[in-house]
Structure formats: structure tokens, C-alpha cells
Structure 1
Amino acid sequence: MAEIELKFQIPSQSRAQFEQDFQKLQPTRHRLCARYFDTEAQQLQQNQIALRQRLEDQQWIQTLKAPTEQQFERFELEHTLKSPPASCDFQLYRKHKPAKKILKQALGDLDIPLILQFETDVARYVLTETHQNSQIEIAFDVGEIRHKDQAIDIYEVEFELKSGQLSELIDFIRPWIQRYDLWLDTRSKSERGYALLQGEESLPVQHQLPLELEQKDQIATILKKIVANCLAHLFPNATAIAADHYNSDHVHQARVAIRRLRSAFKIFQSVTEHVQPEWPEQLRDIFQQLGSTRDRDALAESLIPQLEKAGSPLLKLPPHRQKQPDISALFRQTATVDLILQLLSFSQEKTHSKAKSSHKILCKGLSKLHQQICQDAENYQELDIESRHRTRKRVKRLRYNVEFLQSLFPEKDVKTYLKALKPLQESLGHYNDLFVADELFRPYVKQNSKAWFVLGWISAEQQRLSSEAAERLQQFAENTKPFW
């Protein structure tokens, strides 16, 4: 009913060695020819559902796949077809309650006709391995996805947990990553097919998803749920960047997801021993490498229109002064992939402790942040630049941690508090952007005197936003009370 699998792309420089080594293991070869169907309006795709008919050697099998609450676990239902299908419909699912429910929620009507969308032609090499107490199937796929006269290559390996523990699956995979530089790819063949069909260069951007906690959850369980939620936010954006099919929004959301992870680890560090000390440091390094790319993107989107409105003679960012990091390579690096898998394994571990614990312990961290922000409000205009940046980071961290725990409190109270935080975070964020802009344009005046106008505008805007931020901080401190 459910499958747990991790898919990886094999970089071109490793393919010959991978294929040579894999064939030595004497895998079984299968020919897989699949046809993917959807409604005319592509309602299945909109709900992340895939419906295919696949010829596996000499046997036709119809498969329905749909997402579950777990990032790498999918609902899967297979039917063996007695004869080559002339068409595809939903008849097989009318008496299967889970499948019918999924399709009803997505479509409403199971009589909607289906249309062929695209096809795949794959040579699959399969072998099964035992690792500790788990059975793991390794599938090496070589082939292509086709739509009319267009095609994209498939060259990837999937590790599926047939039985056992996810932690053992990940432990089994790690040496493969080290040897062949495999990088994690969350895209299904269905998703890649739709991208080909629609001519999309970049993949959909993933925003953060709702997080549901329970009052009975132990501290360790809460942390694992938060990490799983942050990873579900990060994975699709990391895949887009690694595949070099990304835009500035993917970079922004990847940074937000990483910042949320770092915020979670910080608030939990005093109440749990489950966090590996190197994780926050590794996340910080990735965050910083994404930073320069995101900073320029953000300034291009926000600063340039403001400069144009102000009549600036210079309406473009200065050229890069140094070589920029290859962020696609960053998410393909073995160290990054290994970190992500460690976090995934941690997020899915069962909590064995029977000791009672309460989320109220975490509220002490919220109270501390709230108090620190209120203290900063008393003399914000007198603070040095680094202290002001610290205030901004506290506000962000407070927001993320409130969002993590919001399902444990009355919705109205949470919304009121977050509503008070939002304008404060925006003012402090815009204020910080101006310092980034100043660092970018100040060295440029030697090459282009028009940059003096920009620096003058930045200086005036800094004064205005500093006063605005101080006022909003004061309003927050005086009018906003903790709800926890």
C-alpha cells in the first residue's frame, strides 16, 4: 500500500564506474514501457497523483500513486491487467476505499475521461540486498521520457525499503553516495514528464507546510516532527537547485527551510540531547553559501525598483567582485547529501523514552526571546549595527518557533501574535537589506561615480527605516503579550 524509496541521480563522471560495478552484482534486467494518463485539465498532477499503465516485460500493470504525510512514503496501488489495455479509466478504484477517497478528493467525479500525457521507455536493472534487518531493492534505470518529438534522459538509481527500518536503508545507501557522488532527487518520473510536457525550465517552488503537533507529544517527538516538516520544505527546492532548474524563489525557500531548522535546533538545544552538535554548524555553512546568491536576487527584486522611483542614474547592481559559489554543486556535494540523509533518518526515528515531558518547557525559550526583543526596544536607536542585526535574527527566530508550536495553542491567539510580529520583521528585514546594498555599492564608486547617488539614497533610507523599526519595536513591546 505504501512505498518508501530514495532516488538519486548519478553524475556523468561516475556513470561508467557505477554501471561497471553494478553489472558485476548480476542484477535482473527488465524492460519497462509506461504510459501516464491524466484528465484534460491535468487534475491528477495538480494533486500530485500519478496514474500509469506499464508493460513490465510481458505483463501490463496499472499503478496509482499519491502522496502521504511522509515525504518519502507514497500511497501505491497496483493492478495486474489481463490483456493489453486499449484505454485507461478509474473503474479499478471504485471499490477500493482508500484509492476512491484520494481520487474523489482530487476530481470529485470518477467518470472524467483520461488522456495520454507522456511515455517512458526504461531498462531497469534490479537486485535485492539484505542490510541488518532490512530488505532493500536497488533499481538502476536507464532510458528516456517522451512526449511527441521531445525526450529527456533517465539515468538514476532508486533504493526502496521492502521491509525494515528507514534508518537501515539510509545506513546502507551512504557508502554508495561516497563512492559514486550520488545526489538526492525528489522528482518522480511523473513530475519530470509533466515538466517536459509543459516546457517548464524550473520546478515548482515548495513553501513551508502546516505542522500538526499533539499535546501528548514528548519533546523529542516534537523536534523530530519539526525536522521532518522542515525537510519537506527543503527537499523539492534543494532538488531544483541541484538539477540546475531553479530561480530566486527556490533559493529563498531553501534558505528559509534551513533557517527554520537552525531555529528549531537552537530552541531545543537546552532541553534535548538528540541533536548532533555538528548539524547546526553544517546547516550554517550551507546557509551562508546560499546567502550571496539570495542577497543579490533580493536586492535586484526590491532595491532596483525603489532606485528607479527615486530617479537614480544607476539602475543595475554592481558586477560580482569575486567568484560566486556554485550552489547547484553545493546540493550535489557528498557532504550536503549525507547531512540531509542524517536529518531524515533522525526525523523518522521512534522516540523510546517513556519519561513525561511537556511542550511548556519550550515556551521558556519563547519567553526568553520575547523578553530580549522587548529589552532591545528600549534603546534600539543606541544599539550598534551588530546588535541591531541580532535583534532582527531574534524576531525571525521567535516567529519560526511560534509557528512550530502554533497547533498546540488557540488559533486566534497565535494569529494575533504573529500579526504583531510581521510588520516588525519586515521593517528590520528591509533595514538589513540596505546594509547589504551599501556593502555592494560602496566599492563600486571608484568605477562608476553614479553609485554616489545610490549611496546617498541608501543613507537617507537607513535613517527612515531605523526610526520606523524603533517605533514598531516599541509598539510590539508595549502592546503584545505572550499567549503561551
Structure 2
Amino acid sequence: MSKHTETELKLRCTDESVWERIMTAEALTNLAVLGTAKTEQLEARYFDTANHSLQNAKLAYRVRREGEVWVATVKSGGSSKGGLHARQEWNIAVDREEPDITVFLNTEVGSRLQKVIGDQILEPILITRFERQILEVIMHDGATIEVAADKGEIIAGEKTAPILEVELELKSGQPRDLFLLGAALAKEYPLLPEPDSKYYRGLLLAGLSTEIPRRNELPQVDKSRPVSEVLRVVLVDLIAQVLLAQRSFLEHKEQPGLVHELRICLRRLRSVLEFSEPLAVIKEYSRYQDELRKFGRKVEALRELDVAYCSWQQFLGYQMVSMEGKVWLGEVLTEKRSQEAEKIYAEYNSGLTTSTLLGLWAELLDEDCQHIIPHDCTVDDYVITGLLSWLRIVGKQEKSVEWTDAENVHKIRLWVKKIRYTMEVLQPDLKGTPRLLLKLEKLQDTLGIISDAKSTEGLLRELLRGKSSKGLPLEAGMLIGWQCHETLTLRKKLDKYWLKFNRTVQKWK
């Protein structure tokens, strides 16, 4: 019998055509232990009671054929974040495939298992059947990782779902090594972090579970810890949020809100990473900032199309507007949006961000990157001092900005975003923080409308090239004129908004 806490990084391959080459990746062959490569045919049967007692108790029970041997396994609880899975498991070799929990009665999980099941009958609920290629590698720091490449299917009744994933299981060493190896693999092959286990995917396939809504919530900040440690933990959470937003976008690329959420998560990560720079929490700060900036720019065009379409719909809904005959602009924007979404989907689905995000995660887990700061500097001391410095920069820019200059408006808007997102995440403990956040949000939204009007104008001019419709230029002109009117109205209010914002900053100090 073996029992341990299993820690593994799961990566899904998005292109079956490269599958046969993955286990020969340079990232693996340079570290492989000779004689450890092997291939197994595995078939696992998962069991539960008729009323799903094991599932409700967050337990999983399976019997798996591993070559000529049957192994019974119980897995308990666990966690999953950004493809990193950790859970307790107990394994016992058995002589048949029929379920029998009595073999676990002398283990730590035995009494719990018996209490949950009682005298109920265990029934098969799903099957996983796959070929597993296995290789052991030793990292440069001595950590041992078992690499398993699984190809097959999940079977639930008449339904099936493919399995095409790489599991990196930590046998010895630190989780950081999993991310280093995962990042190296993702440089060579199209891989995405996989947050769902085969068992959970099977439950969804069988209709025995409903998909848990994925929501990005602000990280919890433990202010009793050293500042550098807190920031590393927060940054790891923000990486996981980017991965979650990316997955949502890939599953529903047609939804504008998910594109916007992905951009916000990337911007939030970049903002807090910049705020952490003085503490040197990572070694390659500039490289990671550049890569994250590129990821955000990839979806800029799609976001601009969504903004233009939304503005057009608002214009059409304006009570003084009366459109006769066919309306062309909405169709043109929709078609262009579909084309752009497919292009961006292909790039992100190929693992565009995987190597960078896993590499950044690994750096944040590197204790050598910790920077010693004065023991009397609390998290709030650091956060408030840093935010005040940023607020002073914005104050100086506001005094000299030319509001008719789109580039200047965009720059000051980026500063407002950085301050807002950093403040939201790190939650400085000052009485006026909620009020200041509201003022920042108001400024960001107002400056956004002004910036969006300019970007929409450029977008529409580009779209008009080569279009023969006589109605399209008219509609585009009407939208541009309407946005200009809205922008002029907002510019008249900006001085008042800034005055209120500056007063709130003074009180916040």
C-alpha cells in the first residue's frame, strides 16, 4: 500500500499531429534518466453509490488495470490552480477489478470511506482508457519528475471525450521544478494548463456534475507576512486568474465580455508586477513585462471591434435616431469580429502564453529571488507609499495633459488603470480607499470613452477601404459624429471629475 500527496502539473496538448513527438522533446531528452522510458495500456473504472455518496464527500474511488496488475485507488479532496493539482491518494494492489473498500480499512482513509459508503452498493459510473508513455527526468537541482503522456478517451455510457495530456508528477523536489519543466515543454509544443482531472471531466460527461462557474475573485492578502512573500503569493494568484480568463475566452470566443476580462486580468498582473519591481521578486522583470504586454496587444483589435459594435448599438438605440432601409455597419463589424476572433483563438489555443506564465510562476516560487526589506515595513506601509508615489505622477500628468491629444489621454488612462488595479488587489488599510477606488473607476471609464472614440474612428476608416456600399460610409460617419459629440460632452466634465479625484487623494493621504 502506498499513500502520499500527489502534486502534478497537467498540460493539455491542443494539436494531435505533434503528439508522437512530445516525449522526444529536447526539454525531456536532456534530463531523462536512462532506462526509465516505458509504455503502459491503462483502463480505470470509477465507482460510486447510486446517490453519489463518494462524490458528495469529495472522494474518488477507482480500480485501474496497469499492465497485468489491478490497483485500487482512493483520492481525497485536493486543490487545482492553473493546472497544478495536489491531492492525497492511497493505492493498493488487488487481484480483481470488482470494487472492494475493505482493502482500505487499515489505512487512514478507511474509516471515512466506510462511513460514507456504509452498506450501499458501488456501481460503475465511468471509464478512462488510454495509452501512457512514461519517462523519469532529473532536474538540474536534483528534483525528480515523472512525465506521463496520456492518449485515449473518457467513456460515460455512450458518450466519449478525448484524452491528450501530459502530466508532470513531482516525485522529489519543489513544485517550482514542475513549472520550469512545463515552461520548457510549452516552448516546443502547443500545450495549455489543464485545471480539470480526468475524473471530473468524466463526471461532467456523464451528467453527474454541473460545471462550476469560473469566477475570478481578488486574491486574499495575508498582511501578517513579509511584503515580498505577500506579493509573490498575490502574483501567483493573478497568473492563475489570467489562465482562467484565457480558458473562458477559448471556450466562448464569441462573447465580448470574456475578451475584456482576459485583458483586465493581464493588465492587473502587469500592474502588480510593476508595483513589486523595487523588491526584485523575480530576476527577469523586463522580459516578462514585455511578453505580457504582447499578449494584451494580441487581443486589442478584437476589443476595439467589440467597443465599436457596442457604440453602434447604443447609437441605434438613441431615441432621436431613425434609420431607413438596410443597416450595413453592424454586419461589417460582426464579420470582421468573427475573423479576428478566429485568428486570436488559434494563437492562444496554440499555447501562446503557456511558457511565459509557467516560467513566471516558477520564478515567483524561487526563494533565491526574495529581497530582504526592513522588518518594520509592513505590507500597508509598502503599498501606501508606492501608491502615493504613483498618484503624484498622475497628478503631474493631469496638470499638463492636452485632452485633444489622444496619445496623452491614453497614457494618463493607463496610469489610472495601474493604480486602480493595484489598489483593488492589495487593499491598503486606509479609511478612504473605497471612495478613492470609485473615483479611479469613474476617471478610467471617462478617459476610456474618449480614447475609444479615437480608436473607433481609425478602425472604421480602415474598414471602409475597399467597401463599395454607399450606405456604409454614411453610417460610419454618423457613428463617428455621435462619438465626437459624446466626447466633447465628457471633456467638459473632466475638470470636475479631476477636482473631486484630487480632493479624495488628499483625504486618503
TM-score tier (shorter): 0.7 to 0.9
Code of the aligned partner of 1:140: A
1:271 CA displacement: 4.4
The C-alpha deviation readout for 1:381-438, integer Å capped at 9, x for no partner, is 75522221122111111111112321x525x543333233232322222333322322
The C-alpha deviation readout for 1:17-67, integer Å capped at 9, x for no partner, is 34688999641514231327599799969x9x5734242431322322432
1:75 CA displacement: 2.7
Distance 1:335 1:87 in 2: 45
Distance 2:279 2:497 in 1: 32
Q: Is the 8 A contact 2:59 2:74 kept in 1?
A: no
Distance 1:464 1:39 in 2: 64
Q: Is the 8 A contact 1:68 1:74 kept in 2?
A: yes
Distance 1:417 1:20 in 2: 54
Q: Is the 8 A contact 1:62 1:81 kept in 2?
A: no
The C-alpha deviation readout for 1:434-484, integer Å capped at 9, x for no partner, is 223222224456641222222221111111233344432221112344646
Distance 2:421 2:130 in 1: 43
Aligned to 2:374: 356
- Relative distance call for 1:93 and 1:238 in structure 2 (3 A) is farther
Aligned to 1:436: 455
Aligned to 2:137: 129
1:345 CA displacement: 0.1
The alignment of Structure 1 onto Structure 2 pairs a total of residues equal to: 469
Of 154-163 and 450-459, more deviation after overlay is shown by 450-459
The C-alpha deviation readout for 1:126-168, integer Å capped at 9, x for no partner, is 3333334112111121211223322121122111112102333
Q: Is the 8 A contact 1:36 1:52 kept in 2?
A: yes
Counterparts in 2 of 1:84-483, with a 5 A limit? 118-132=126-140, 133-197=142-206, 205-219=214-228, 221-241=229-249, 247-272=255-280, 274-276=282-284, 277-300=286-309, 302-310=310-318, 311=321, 313=323, 314=327, 316=330, 317-318=332-333, 319-320=335-336, 324=340, 326-333=343-350, 336-350=353-367, 353-356=371-374, 358=377, 359=379, 360-376=381-397, 382=403, 384-406=405-427, 409=429, 413-444=432-463, 447=469, 448=472, 449-481=474-506, 483=508
SS of residue paired to 1:386: helix
Q: Is the 8 A contact 1:122 1:144 kept in 2?
A: yes
The structure having more radius of gyration, on CA atoms, is 2
Aligned to 2:73: 61
Q: Is the 8 A contact 1:3 1:161 kept in 2?
A: yes
Code of the aligned partner of 1:61: T
Which segments of 5 or more consecutive residues in structure 1 lack a partner in the other structure?
101-108
The C-alpha deviation readout for 1:223-263, integer Å capped at 9, x for no partner, is 31232011110122334556787743443222222111211
Code of the aligned partner of 1:16: E
1:362 CA displacement: 4.3
Q: Is the 8 A contact 1:444 1:451 kept in 2?
A: no
1:73 CA displacement: 4.0
Identity, % of aligned positions? 20
Q: Is the 8 A contact 1:36 1:50 kept in 2?
A: no
Code of the aligned partner of 1:371: R
SS of residue paired to 2:161: strand
Distance 1:247 1:24 in 2: 49
The C-alpha deviation readout for 1:94-133, integer Å capped at 9, x for no partner, is 9869x99xxxxxxxx999x999764422333333333341
Distance 2:59 2:455 in 1: 44
Distance 2:81 2:181 in 1: 24
Of 66-75 and 275-284, more deviation after overlay is shown by 66-75
Q: Is the 8 A contact 2:148 2:168 kept in 1?
A: yes
Q: Is the 8 A contact 2:63 2:97 kept in 1?
A: no
TM-score (norm 1): 0.80
Distance 2:47 2:488 in 1: 58
SS of residue paired to 2:367: coil
Code of the aligned partner of 2:227: Q
- Relative distance call for 1:285 and 1:188 in structure 2 (3 A) is same
Q: Is the 8 A contact 2:61 2:74 kept in 1?
A: yes
Code of the aligned partner of 2:277: Q
Distance 1:13 1:24 in 2: 27
SS of residue paired to 1:9: strand
Which segments of 5 or more consecutive residues in structure 2 lack a partner in the other structure?
none
Counterparts in 2 of 1:37-76, with a 5 A limit? 51-57=60-66, 58-67=70-79, 72-76=84-88
Distance 2:308 2:213 in 1: 22
Distance 1:211 1:76 in 2: 25
Distance 1:41 1:458 in 2: 56
Of 443-452 and 429-438, more deviation after overlay is shown by 443-452
Code of the aligned partner of 1:12: E
TM-score (norm 2): 0.76
Code of the aligned partner of 1:77: E
SS of residue paired to 1:423: helix
- Relative distance call for 1:427 and 1:59 in structure 2 (3 A) is same
Distance 1:312 1:328 in 2: 37
1:12 to 9, 13, 16: 16
Q: Is the 8 A contact 1:242 1:329 kept in 2?
A: no
Q: Is the 8 A contact 2:453 2:480 kept in 1?
A: no
Residue 31, structure 1, aligned to residue 45, structure 2: no
Code of the aligned partner of 1:415: P
Distance 2:52 2:490 in 1: 47
Aligned to 1:106: none
Q: Is the 8 A contact 2:46 2:63 kept in 1?
A: yes
Distance 1:298 1:94 in 2: 58
Code of the aligned partner of 2:6: E
Of 208-217 and 374-383, more deviation after overlay is shown by 374-383
